[in-house]
């Protein structure tokens, strides 16, 4: 799971040591490339983490269960890096510029809202936290991920110019994974 971030880190090290960004796979515009890359991996990990529970219930692949937490945490890590690069290198590390972008542009607001929703989930991802909060309340809290996924999918749709299928495919997969949860478990098992 660390591979995408590791690949990116190696490319950045090579660029900082003097290699041409395009030659190391960061395109002629490495900052834009990096922001897009991290955002794409954040939504991929998020969708994969959302796929675990339906696959457990439906396909009875219970061996997938231990993957859910690391997938969620990698989604958060990519989102955090995505936001950090945007904040430091696009918004010049200025909170007032960032605030202005959030306030003026729904596209940025949705991304920021998704990140904000993931933050408490990442902070309460330990066994200790589950014990302290109580399993029932912990589960209720972690349902925020559904909203985060919806915001992330719309944020991605708003990212591109013209009609491009890629973000709609991600949104479609996310929608299926959320809708399947609305089906009664017994019904899904019989099907």
Catalog residues that contact another protein under the rule CB under 8 A: 20, 22, 27-29, 31-32, 89-90, 92, 100-101, 104-108, 158-165
Number of H helices, E strands in the chain: 10, 0
- Give yes or no for a contact between 120 and 127, defined as CB atoms under 8 angstroms apart: no
Q: How far is CA 168 from the centre of its chain?
A: 15
Q: Who contacts 74 (Cβ-Cβ below 8 Å, separation ≥6)?
A: 1, 2, 5, 41, 45
Cα dihedral value 146, 147, 149, 151, nearest 10: 170
Q: What's the min distance (Å) between Cβ of 84 and another protein?
A: 15
Which C-beta is closer to another protein: that of 62 or that of 94? 94
Which C-beta is closer to another protein: that of 44 or that of 159? 159
Both structure tokens of 67: 């993957």
Which C-beta is closer to another protein: that of 163 or that of 187? 163
Q: What's the min distance (Å) between Cβ of 178 and another protein?
A: 25
Q: What's the min distance (Å) between Cβ of 92 and another protein?
A: 6
Which C-beta is closer to another protein: that of 89 or that of 144? 89
Q: What's the min distance (Å) between Cβ of 104 and another protein?
A: 6
């Amino acid at each position: 799971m660390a591979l995408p971030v590791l690949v990116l880190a190696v490319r950045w090290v090579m660029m900082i040591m003097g290699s041409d960004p395009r030659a190391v796979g960061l395109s002629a515009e490495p900052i834009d490339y990096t922001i897009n890359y991290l955002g794409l991996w954040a939504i991929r990990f998020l969708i994969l983490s959302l796929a675990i529970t339906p696959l457990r219930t439906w396909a009875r692949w219970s061996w997938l269960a231990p993957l859910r937490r690391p997938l969620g945490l990698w989604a958060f890590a990519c989102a955090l890096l995505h936001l950090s690069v945007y904040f430091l290198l696009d918004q010049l590390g200025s909170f007032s510029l960032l605030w202005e972008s959030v306030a003026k542009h729904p596209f940025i607001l949705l991304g920021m809202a998704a990140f904000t929703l993931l933050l408490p989930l990442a902070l309460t991802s330990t066994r200790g936290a589950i014990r302290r909060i109580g399993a029932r309340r912990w589960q209720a809290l972690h349902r925020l991920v559904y909203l985060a996924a919806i915001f992330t999918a719309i944020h991605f749709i708003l990212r591109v110019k013209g009609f491009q299928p890629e973000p709609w495919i991600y949104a479609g997969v996310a929608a299926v994974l959320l809708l399947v949860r609305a089906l009664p478990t017994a019904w899904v098992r019989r099907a």
